[in-house]
């Protein structure tokens, strides 16, 4: 025990003479506190970003693309009926360690089974640990999809589905399918601290968790034993900085190297700064105003349509997005296959809106809550301002709007509980599959309490279409089905789709190998710093 | 003196038996008096010699012990010095440690050498073991010191490194603060920018609202034209001008805000309004702008609020960073203190404090770039501190062990010291015991011997005395019984017998005795005490001889007178029977009878008196008792007894004594003094002449003292001899048989036994005077030892 400490000491002493920071520390100015560090438990990009450095998946997207490539599974086969997936695991993949745990074995099929079954099976010993809820897993319908998960040997995992599922492989690259350590879970259960599995996760990813200090930072260290080799940087810090202006200031002064969600209003300024780069990508996102269809006044489709006419999206895009967005008409981004561009958007037509209100008998004025997002999101850089502009627009219809918000995690929670009458929200797709929008956000499954269907909109026709589209591999047919579904969505107007924003990341010039992720995440697994800090 | 030849004639065969006889205790009784006395003298000398040899041997041993103890005390000093060097070493600054280590080494070597020396000099088994164990302890102590030295050196290095690390942490803190400060300045700049944007947005909003108000007014006037005609139309023209101004002002504001496209679009809309378009388009345009800029104002307000909050937080962070620098410095001090006092709990406290500081650093939104390094530096420092804690604990254990060893060592050295000193003391004590005990035993032995010897001498002497007295009264009582003895008493008895037998042949015996005396004189010199004793006894014999002679004369006169009276009576009876007694003849007969009776009576009385005197003198002489007597009676008796000596050469002696002088003293000794003086006068002062005069005058000399002046009118003592006359064997009359002991005895008796002084005053040719001052009460009886001597 003493020898390594001394070795570490002497190594450190050699470094002690050097000036500040010979170690490479990359600082990411993130926008908020992650709701959890376990990707199984999160749905927000903030939480997904925070969990991502620690984990790997069976398969993953090639950086910057939506193409899949082998990760922890070095190969796989799919049965002819499209229902059985057999994965061959990579050999000798090491898990990280922490103060409470040191792994005794490399990755095995047991870990994969644990990671999936925890979310899937209600009787799994870890299913209810820490009042966990696996919303993403549930919303995407994984529970119904899975039939069995088997581990014939240490390096083989066989998953059988109840039906063929086109996006299944892509689903396995989603954050909630991070591969956890079954050994760690068992050790923590034995130690009586099963909750540590979520608060101090152990994975096989390029970084291991050092510490998480809410409101201050999440700190990661390079994991020396990563199967792809140690990452180029030594320390990765998520410096939690909710104020966009402060993030920009810190980026400019070099206090951070990468800034999440720069304000589109500052885009010009960033592009003009020789020390900085602004990365732009058409995001897989949609920002929208969800109207709660389960109760008045938005249970009336005429009212919902009136809102679609009444809201001046262009003004919003100009004022709030500084033009870094396109107006939305469908629930999924135009960059995704299956997008129906033939749909005519509701124009800005206050008179039409007024007519519809008259039809609906709402001439006597109406009042409604309008919730806005407390932090900046790519699909909503200044939600409060959008809400204000919408309130101004609705004022002409005699609608008295009460603006409301809560802190980010509570906000999401409240939305999923169906609390607001109307709420600004948005979604960034995790996969290049329309299903990730259509099904995740608008299916009847997601309309449950706690589900992602904020509008609580359950349309049987729509649901049938997206469910069918999901189960067939034929993209053409699926496109057809999704287009039909988009028409239903347009007619029924559960949302006012607002914008598809550009996904922006501001980085300093010395940051190398940072690839912008169209899904709106920040991936640091390959990042390096040039010329030191 | 006349007995001397007889007394020492047999000595030649007595002496060879001395040592044979000493082999048995019973033999003592058979030894001669001389040998007995020799034995009495020899015992103390022999014992003293043995004691001396034993003491020298033992004292040498004691000296060895003391030398050892001296070495041990130097070892002790060195051990203590080594211990204090160690303490100093432990407490010293790292740079000073070398000095203390050297001091320790020197002390160790000193102690080690000392122990070695000791090991070579001391050969007692227990001590050798103790030295070996002390040496082992010492080596253990030194080995532990070696360990401590190595450990301390490592620790010092670690402390130095840790201080460097802490300094690095402080540098980091400074940098963090600098960064924070720079960041704060940036934030202020951003704040100004946003404030500027806000002001612009507000300007736009105000201008847009003014334009909208003008539009509303114009619309109102136009609506009024229809009803109130020309006047209203004029007013409408006025409003048109107003609107024109407001629109222009708003467009300028838009241009000023950099919204040139918006401004020209606005002007276009306005133009189409002027050329008869509806007011809805212009109003809608302005409303849209108002919505945008109005929400921008609100958004900018919010942003400014956030930025202000952030600025406040950033300033707090800057302050907190400074505090961390201070805490870090304090931590360094606490560590130094804890390390200096080797306090494990202290270090644990510092470890806890450093953990708190780490938490504090982690909880602050310090520049993340530095924060990680700060935390790492602190963590490494803490890990080093944990190592330090363990090392210190080990060192403390070594120190404890050393203290124990030191305690044992001190104890061992002290006991070694004690044991050696005790040995020396014991030896000294033994010597002292031997000396005291030996002396006591020798004294006792000598005393017992002395008493036995004295008894063995005095008893037969008394018997002899009684025998002689008996024979003086009854010469026909036969020879003395002790004549069979082989010692001097036997000689005396035989001499007395001889004397009794050869009473008539005194003169010729004297002559023959002289020859013997000369022969034994040489031996006499060798046996001083024997001779003194013999001299004393000889004077007694002399006395006896004188008395015998003296008695003889009156007895003879009485006998003759009795014979004559008998003759006279027979003759007178014949006369009466013959009737021829005349009155005259009768008267004459009566007269002669009277005379005869008186004469007989007188002579018999004189004889009785003589015997009485002699009896007392002899008793005194023989017993040596201390008793009270009257000086005049004593002098009378003595000189009466000595009468015959006077008559020998017709010397005259006059004795004058103050009456009523009461003495408590030794009459025997005093008698011998006067006898010897008288004898001395006759032998030396009146040598070769007759009719010498001796005057003895006894006077009181103040209370408690008497003075005896003994004067003669003899030839005196030459001045060169005068200082030596009291020396033993000093004599001018060696040729005439003097022993040279007479005056020596006088001197001894006067000064020792009688407690007085004696002085001599002499002028050659005019006589000599001895002045003796005596206390009326002589000193208490001397121990038998002295009396025997």
Q: Closest partner residue to B367 among A252, A255, A318, by Cβ?
A: A255
Residues with Cβ within 8 Å of residue A53, at least 6 apart in sequence: A205, A206, A207, A220, A236, A524, A525
At B729-777, the pLDDT tens digits run: 677 766 666 667 778 788 888 888 888 888 888 888 888 899 999 898 8
At A452-467, the pLDDT tens digits run: 899 999 999 999 999 8
Closest CA of chain A from B187, distance in Å: 6
At A121-163, the pLDDT tens digits run: 888 888 888 777 788 888 777 888 899 999 999 999 999 999 8
Give me the total of CB pairs closer than 8 Å, taking one residue from chain A and one from chain B.
133
Same domain, A219 and A294: no
Q: How do strand B693-700 and strand B705-712 relate by DSSP bridges?
A: antiparallel
Taking CB atoms and an 8 Å limit, are B380 and A211 in contact across chains? no
Taking CB atoms and an 8 Å limit, are B307 and A23 in contact across chains? no
List beta partners, residue B699: B707
At A238-249, the pLDDT tens digits run: 999 888 888 888
Name the pLDDT band for A12 (thresholds 50, 70, 90): very low
Q: How do strand A528-529 and strand B652-657 relate by DSSP bridges?
A: unpaired
| Token pair for A516 | 């912008």
Same domain, A141 and A204: yes
Asked if residue A248 belongs to a domain, the reply is no
Taking CB atoms and an 8 Å limit, are B368 and A248 in contact across chains? no
Measuring CA to CA, which residue among B254, B255, B264, B260 is closest to residue B292?
B254
pLDDT at B21: 42
Q: Closest partner residue to A253 among B186, B362, B372, by Cβ?
A: B186
pLDDT at B617: 66
- A256 CB neighbours in chain B (<8 A) are 368
Closest CA of chain A from B254, distance in Å: 14
Weakest-pLDDT range from A144-148, A374-378, B309-313, B496-500: B496-500
How far out from the chain centre does Cα B400 lie? 35
pLDDT at A180: 92
Taking CB atoms and an 8 Å limit, are A13 and B161 in contact across chains? yes
Taking CB atoms and an 8 Å limit, are B306 and A246 in contact across chains? yes
Q: Which residue has the higher pLDDT, B754 or A107?
A: A107
- A17 CB neighbours in chain B (<8 A) are 164
Taking CB atoms and an 8 Å limit, are B183 and A253 in contact across chains? yes
Taking CB atoms and an 8 Å limit, are B165 and A12 in contact across chains? yes
The domain segmentation of chain B, as residue ranges, is 527-788
pLDDT at B144: 86
Asked if residue A70 belongs to a domain, the reply is yes
Task: Note which residues in 152-171 of chain B have CB less than 8 A from chain A.
Answer: 161, 164-165, 168, 171
Residues with Cβ within 8 Å of residue B440, at least 6 apart in sequence: none
Residues with Cβ within 8 Å of residue B153, at least 6 apart in sequence: B97
Weakest-pLDDT range from A218-232, A416-430, B588-602: B588-602
Same domain, A83 and A160: yes
Contact (CB, 8 A) for B764 and B718: yes
Q: What are residue A404's phi and psi, to 5 degrees? A: -140, 155
Which residue in chain B has the smallest CA separation from A395?
B291
Same domain, A188 and A311: no
Indicate if the pLDDT at residue B538 is higher than 80. Answer: no
At B445-464, the pLDDT tens digits run: 777 877 887 777 777 778 77
Asked if residue A128 belongs to a domain, the reply is yes
Which residue in chain B has the smallest CA separation from A220?
B372
Looking at residues B418-445, what average pLDDT do you find?
78
Which residue in chain B has the smallest CA separation from A19?
B168
B265 lies within 8 A of chain A by CB: no
Same domain, A167 and A199: yes
Asked if residue A398 belongs to a domain, the reply is yes
At A426-442, the pLDDT tens digits run: 988 877 788 889 988 99
Closest CA of chain A from B319, distance in Å: 16
Task: Note which residues in 388-417 of chain B have CB less than 8 A from chain A.
Answer: 390
Most confident of A33-47, B49-63, B455-469: A33-47
Tell me, what CATH number does A188's domain have? 3.90.76.10
- Cβ count within 10 A of residue B196: 11
Asked if residue A132 belongs to a domain, the reply is yes
Asked if residue A267 belongs to a domain, the reply is no
Same domain, A491 and A515: no
B117 lies within 8 A of chain A by CB: no
- Cα separation, B715 vs B726, in Å, equals 18
Taking CB atoms and an 8 Å limit, are B303 and A245 in contact across chains? yes
- B189 CB neighbours in chain A (<8 A) are 249
Looking at residues B596-614, what average pLDDT do you find?
77
Closest CA of chain A from B306, distance in Å: 7
Same domain, A514 and A486: no
- Cα separation, B588 vs B565, in Å, equals 13
Taking CB atoms and an 8 Å limit, are A9 and B380 in contact across chains? yes
Contact (CB, 8 A) for B506 and B545: yes
Q: Closest partner residue to A255 among B171, B183, B291, by Cβ?
A: B183
DSSP of B53-88: HHHHHHHHHHHHHHHHHHHHHHHHHHHHHHHHHHHH
B133 lies within 8 A of chain A by CB: no
Closest CA of chain B from A374, distance in Å: 12
B280 lies within 8 A of chain A by CB: no
Q: Which residue has the higher pLDDT, B73 or A290?
A: A290
DSSP of A355-408: HHHHHTT-TT-EEEEEE--SS-BTTBTTHHHHHHHHHHHHHTTTEEEEEE---H
Indicate if the pLDDT at residue B30 is higher than 70. Answer: no
A18 lies within 8 A of chain B by CB: no
Looking at residues A406-413, what average pLDDT do you find?
86
- Cα separation, B621 vs B536, in Å, equals 9
Task: Note which residues in 374-433 of chain A have CB less than 8 A from chain B.
Answer: 382, 384-385, 388-389, 392-393
How far out from the chain centre does Cα B554 lie? 79
Percent of chain A with pLDDT over 70: 95
Residues with Cβ within 8 Å of residue B423, at least 6 apart in sequence: B61, B62, B65, B124, B127
pLDDT at A161: 92
| Token pair for A101 | 């745990």
Residue A29, H or E segment? strand A25-30
- B373 CB neighbours in chain A (<8 A) are 20-21, 23, 25
Looking at every residue in chain B, the average pLDDT score rounds to: 78
ipTM field: 0.76
pLDDT at B370: 80
Asked if residue A384 belongs to a domain, the reply is yes
| Token pair for B489 | 């008493």
Which residue in chain A has the smallest CA separation from B162?
A13
| Token pair for B423 | 């040995």
- Cα separation, B18 vs A523, in Å, equals 133
Same domain, A160 and A307: no
Domain count, chain A: 2
- Cα separation, B301 vs B310, in Å, equals 14
Range of the domain at A330: 285-500
Q: How do strand A258-260 and strand A495-508 relate by DSSP bridges?
A: antiparallel
Indicate if the pLDDT at residue A25 is higher than 50. Answer: yes
pLDDT at B19: 43
Closest CA of chain A from B203, distance in Å: 16
Asked if residue A387 belongs to a domain, the reply is yes
Which residue in chain A has the smallest CA separation from B174?
A20
Taking CB atoms and an 8 Å limit, are A249 and B364 in contact across chains? no
Same domain, A516 and A494: no
- Cα separation, B567 vs A49, in Å, equals 186
- A253 CB neighbours in chain B (<8 A) are 179, 182-183, 186
Tell me, what CATH number does A388's domain have? 3.10.105.10
Taking CB atoms and an 8 Å limit, are B299 and A13 in contact across chains? no
Same domain, A376 and A452: yes
Residues with Cβ within 8 Å of residue B693, at least 6 apart in sequence: B651, B652, B653, B654, B712, B713
Same domain, A168 and A191: yes
Indicate if the pLDDT at residue A2 is higher than 70. Answer: no
Same domain, A345 and A231: no
- Cα separation, B741 vs B749, in Å, equals 12
CATH fold of B527-788 reads Heat Shock Protein 90 (3.30.565)
Indicate if the pLDDT at residue B198 is higher than 60. Answer: yes
- Cβ count within 10 A of residue A147: 12
Name the pLDDT band for A16 (thresholds 50, 70, 90): very low
- Cα separation, B473 vs B544, in Å, equals 12
Which residue in chain A has the smallest CA separation from B387?
A2
Which three-class secondary structure state does DSSP give residue A492?
helix
Indicate if the pLDDT at residue B227 is higher than 70. Answer: no
Name the pLDDT band for A306 (thresholds 50, 70, 90): very high
């Amino acid at each position: 025990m003493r020898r390594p400490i001394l070795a570490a000491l002497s190594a450190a002493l050699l470094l002690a003479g050097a000036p500040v920071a010979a170690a490479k520390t990359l600082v990411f100015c993130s926008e908020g506190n992650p709701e959890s560090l376990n990707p199984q438990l999160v749905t927000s990009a903030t939480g997904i970003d925070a969990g991502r450095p620690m984990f790997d998946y069976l398969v993953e997207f090639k950086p910057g693309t939506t193409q899949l490539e082998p990760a922890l599974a070095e190969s796989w086969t799919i049965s002819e009926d499209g229902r059985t997936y057999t994965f061959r695991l990579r050999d000798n993949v090491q898990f990280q360690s922490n103060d409470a745990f040191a792994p005794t074995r490399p990755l095995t099929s047991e870990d994969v089974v644990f990671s999936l079954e925890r979310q899937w099976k209600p009787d799994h010993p870890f299913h209810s640990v820490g009042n966990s809820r696996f919303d993403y897993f549930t919303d995407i319908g994984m529970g119904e999809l899975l039939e069995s998960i088997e581990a014939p040997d240490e390096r083989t995992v066989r998953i059988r589905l109840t039906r063929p599922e086109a996006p299944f492989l892509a689903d396995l690259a989603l954050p909630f399918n991070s591969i956890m350590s079954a050994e760690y879970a068992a050790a923590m259960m034995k130690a009586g601290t099963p909750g540590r599995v979520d608060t101090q996760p152990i994975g096989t990813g390029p970084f291991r968790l050092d510490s998480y200090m809410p409101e201050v930072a999440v700190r990661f260290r390079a994991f020396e034993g990563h199967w792809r080799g140690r990452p180029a940087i030594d320390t990765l810090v998520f410096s939690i900085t909710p104020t966009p202006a402060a993030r920009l200031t810190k980026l400019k002064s070099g206090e951070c190297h990468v800034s999440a969600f720069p304000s589109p209003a500052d885009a010009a300024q960033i592009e003009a700064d020789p020390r900085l780069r602004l990365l732009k990508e058409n995001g897989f996102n949609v920002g929208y105003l969800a109207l709660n269809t389960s109760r008045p006044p938005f249970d009336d489709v005429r009212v919902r349509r009136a809102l679609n006419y009444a809201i001046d999206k262009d003004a919003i895009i100009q004022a709030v997005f500084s033009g870094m967005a396109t107006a939305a008409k469908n629930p999924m981004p135009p960059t995704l296959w299956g997008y129906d561009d033939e749909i005519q958007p509701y124009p800005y037509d206050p008179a039409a809106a007024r007519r519809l209100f008259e039809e609906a008998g709402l001439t006597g004025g109406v009042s409604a809550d309008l919730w806005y997002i407390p932090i900046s999101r790519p699909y909503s850089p200044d939600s409060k301002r959008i809400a204000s502009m919408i309130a101004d627009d609705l004022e002409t219809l005699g609608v008295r709007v009460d603006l409301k918000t809560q802190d980010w995690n509570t906000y999401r929670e409240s939305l999923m509980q169906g609390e607001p009458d109307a709420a600004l929200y948005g979604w960034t797709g995790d996969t290049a599959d329309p299903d990730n929008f259509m099904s995740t956000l608008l299916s009847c499954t997601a309309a449950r309490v706690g589900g992602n269907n904020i509008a609580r909109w359950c349309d049987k026709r729509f649901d049938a279409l997206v469910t069918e589209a999901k189960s067939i591999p034929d993209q053409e047919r699926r496109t057809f089905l999704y287009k039909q579904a988009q028409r239903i969505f347009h007619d029924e107007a559960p949302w006012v789709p607002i914008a598809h924003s550009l996904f922006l990341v501001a980085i300093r010039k010395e940051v190398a190998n940072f690839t912008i992720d169209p899904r709106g995440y920040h991936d640091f697994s390959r990042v390096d710093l040039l010329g030191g800090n | 003196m006349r007995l001397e030849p007889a007394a020492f004639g047999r000595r030649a065969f007595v002496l060879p038996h001395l040592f044979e006889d000493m082999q048995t205790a019973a033999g003592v009784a058979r030894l001669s008096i001389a040998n007995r006395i020799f034995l009495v003298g020899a015992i103390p000398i022999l014992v003293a010699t043995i004691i001396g040899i034993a003491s020298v041997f033992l004292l040498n041993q004691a000296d060895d012990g003391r030398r050892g103890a001296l070495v041990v005390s130097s070892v002790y000093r060195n051990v203590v010095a080594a211990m204090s060097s160690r303490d100093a070493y432990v407490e010293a600054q790292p740079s000073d440690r070398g000095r203390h280590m050297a001091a320790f080494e020197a002390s160790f070597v000193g102690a080690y050498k000392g122990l070695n020396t000791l090991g070579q000099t001391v050969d007692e088994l227990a001590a050798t073991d103790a030295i070996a164990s002390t040496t082992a302890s010492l080596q253990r102590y030194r080995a532990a010191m070696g360990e401590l030295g190595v450990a301390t050196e490592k620790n010092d290095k670690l402390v130095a490194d840790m201080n460097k690390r802490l300094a690095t942490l402080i540098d980091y803190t400074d940098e963090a603060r600098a960064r924070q400060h720079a960041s704060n300045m940036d934030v202020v700049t951003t704040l100004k920018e946003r404030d500027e944007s806000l002001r612009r947005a507000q300007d736009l909003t105000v201008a847009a609202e003014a334009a909208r108000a003008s539009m509303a007014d114009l619309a109102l006037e136009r609506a009024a034209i229809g009803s109130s005609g020309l006047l209203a139309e004029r007013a409408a023209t006025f409003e048109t001008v107003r609107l024109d101004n407001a629109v222009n002002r708003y467009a300028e504001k838009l241009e000023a805000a950099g919204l040139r496209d918006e401004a020209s679009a606005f002007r276009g809309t306005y133009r189409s309004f002027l050329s008869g378009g509806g007011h809805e388009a212009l109003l809608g345009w302005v409303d849209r702008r108002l919505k945008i800029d109005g929400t921008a104002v609100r958004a900018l307000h919010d942003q400014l609020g956030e930025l202000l909050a952030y600025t406040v937080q950033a300033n707090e962070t800057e302050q907190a960073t400074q505090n961390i620098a201070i805490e870090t410095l304090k931590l360094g001090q606490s560590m130094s203190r804890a390390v200096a006092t080797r306090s494990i709990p202290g270090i644990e406290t510092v470890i806890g404090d450093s953990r708190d500081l780490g938490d504090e650093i982690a909880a602050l939104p310090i520049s993340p770039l530095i924060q990680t390094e700060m935390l790492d530096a602190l963590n490494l420092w803490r890990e080093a501190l944990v190592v330090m804690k363990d090392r210190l604990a080990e060192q403390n254990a070594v120190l404890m062990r050393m203290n124990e060893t030191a305690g044992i060592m001190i104890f061992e050295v002290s006991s070694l010291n004690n044991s050696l000193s005790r040995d020396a003391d014991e030896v000294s004590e033994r010597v002292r015991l031997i000396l005291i005990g030996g002396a006591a035993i020798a004294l006792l032995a000598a005393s017992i011997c002395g008493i036995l010897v004295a008894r063995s001498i005095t008893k037969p002497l008394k018997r002899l005395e009684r025998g002689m007295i008996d024979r003086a009264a009854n010469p026909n009582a036969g020879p003395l019984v002790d004549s069979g003895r082989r010692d001097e008493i036997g000689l005396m008895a035989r001499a007395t017998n001889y004397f009794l037998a050869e009473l008539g042949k005194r003169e010729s015996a004297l002559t023959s005795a002289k020859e013997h005396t000369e022969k034994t004189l040489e031996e006499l010199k060798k046996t001083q005490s024997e001779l003194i004793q013999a001299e004393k006894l000889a004077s007694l014999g002399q006395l006896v001889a004188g008395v015998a002679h003296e008695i003889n004369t009156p007895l003879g006169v009485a006998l003759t007178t009795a014979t004559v009276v008998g003759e006279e009576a027979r003759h007178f009876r014949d006369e009466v029977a013959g009737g021829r007694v005349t009155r005259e003849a009768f008267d004459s007969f009566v007269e002669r009878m009277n005379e005869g009776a008186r004469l007989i009576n007188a002579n018999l009385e004189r004889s009785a008196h003589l015997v009485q005197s002699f009896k007392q003198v002899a008793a005194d002489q023989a017993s040596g008792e201390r008793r009270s007597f009257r000086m005049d009676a004593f002098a009378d008796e003595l000189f009466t007894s000595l009468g015959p000596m006077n008559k020998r050469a017709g010397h005259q002696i006059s004795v004058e004594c103050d009456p009523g002088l009461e003495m408590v003293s030794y009459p025997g000794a005093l008698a011998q003094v006067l006898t010897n003086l008288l004898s001395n006068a006759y032998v030396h002062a009146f040598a070769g002449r007759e009719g010498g005069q001796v005057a003895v005058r006894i006077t009181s000399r103040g209370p408690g003292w008497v003075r005896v002046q003994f004067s003669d009118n003899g030839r005196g003592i030459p001045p060169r001899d005068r200082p030596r006359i009291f020396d033993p064997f000093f004599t001018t009359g060696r040729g005439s048989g003097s022993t040279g002991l007479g005056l020596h005895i006088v001197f001894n008796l006067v000064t020792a036994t009688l407690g007085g002084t004696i002085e001599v005053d002499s002028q050659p040719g005019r006589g000599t005077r001895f002045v003796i001052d005596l206390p009326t009460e002589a000193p208490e009886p001397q121990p038998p030892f002295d009396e025997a001597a």
